[in-house]
Structure 1
Amino acid sequence: MKTFRLVGLTIEVQGENGARLEEIPLSDGLIINKEDGENHWMIEALLQKEHRSYFETLSQKKNELHIYVTISKKTNKPAEIVAKIKSIMVLEEHISVLFEGRMLARKAKNEPEKLLEDLLTKGLHGEDLKKAFKQKLKEQRELNVKKSPQT
């Protein structure tokens, strides 16, 4: 098994108007590659107690969740994991939410649409939406260039 630091957590939430992405502020977190040949991962998110009822509600539904995790550095591209909540532990000042799931292969063709949906759910429109969308696409391209092997 390999353990990494979890630096970002976003949950895809299904609503009346389709899916939206909800960023969850982390106090700390770990993500563990189980290295079982099946691409299974364990994610532990340390969160403020105010998120307890939200995660308890999600846990009671027992549905698989699409979560996006950023590993090691905030500048890394989030990885998509289909996961279930395994446990919620109440600590003195935080809660610990334990997820278990399977990492999905990247689907680059859907990323601009998801990015646009996310910006729309943040209330952006018109010229502000256009500028934010262009900026995010530029940031993603720059990250991809930095990650590409030099030839």
Structure 2
Amino acid sequence: MKTFKLKSLQILELHHEGIERHSLDLMDGLIINREDDQLRWTIEAYVSREYSSFLHRLYEEKSEIIIRAKITTESNEPAVFITTITGVNDIGDNMNVLFLGKLVEQKTSKVELLLTTLMDEGYQGKALLPAFKQRIL
């Protein structure tokens, strides 16, 4: 396993109208390449409880979530992951959220272009993510 510093985290929520971006102000975070046979990554973000209702809602929905994460330095291109939230935990006055997912091996601009194209083709709601995964993975 390889562990890296998580520098920024953005959650992309897919709606009928488009993509809503939620940037989380990180207090701390790390990202682990598990190097397992499924090529999964674990992402842990330590954040303020101001995100509690949003993160708990995503956790309870148990749906796949697209995230963008900058690793090691702010100047790096964000890596894109298809994840699920595996845990949301209160820690004192703050909280952490754990994601488990797979790295999408594309530049961020290509990922956003593909999402926009799929939406222009009429994919929306629950049909959008499977179409995205089929074309990107």
Q: Same fold (TM over 0.5)?
A: yes
Alignment match, 1:23: 23
Structure 1 or 2, whichever has the larger Rg, is 1
TM-score (normalizing by structure 2): 0.77
Q: Verify the 8 A CA contact 2:32 2:42 in the aligned structure 1.
A: yes
Alignment match, 2:75: 75
Stretches of structure 2 lacking an aligned partner (at least 5 in a row):
115-137
State the identity %.
Answer: 32
* Separation in structure 2 between the aligned mates of residue 71 and residue 43 of structure 1, nearest angstrom: 10
CA deviation profile, 1:57-91 (whole Å, cap 9, x unmatched): 01111000000111000000000000000001101
Q: Secondary structure at the match of 1:63?
A: coil
**Which structure has more helix as a fraction of its residues?**
1
* Separation in structure 2 between the aligned mates of residue 110 and residue 82 of structure 1, nearest angstrom: 15
Q: Verify the 8 A CA contact 2:78 2:108 in the aligned structure 1.
A: no
* Separation in structure 2 between the aligned mates of residue 35 and residue 48 of structure 1, nearest angstrom: 30
* Separation in structure 2 between the aligned mates of residue 47 and residue 109 of structure 1, nearest angstrom: 26
Q: Which runs of 4+ in 1 moved over 4 A?
A: 111-114
**Which structure has more strand as a fraction of its residues?**
2
State the 1:53 CA deviation. Answer: 0.8
The structure-2 alpha-carbon separation of the partners of 1:109 and 1:31, relative to structure 1 and needing over 3 Å to count, comes to: closer
Q: Secondary structure at the match of 1:75?
A: coil
Q: Secondary structure at the match of 1:76?
A: coil
Alignment match, 1:64: 64
TM-score (normalizing by structure 1): 0.70
Alignment match, 2:32: 32
* Separation in structure 2 between the aligned mates of residue 111 and residue 62 of structure 1, nearest angstrom: 22
Alignment match, 1:11: 11
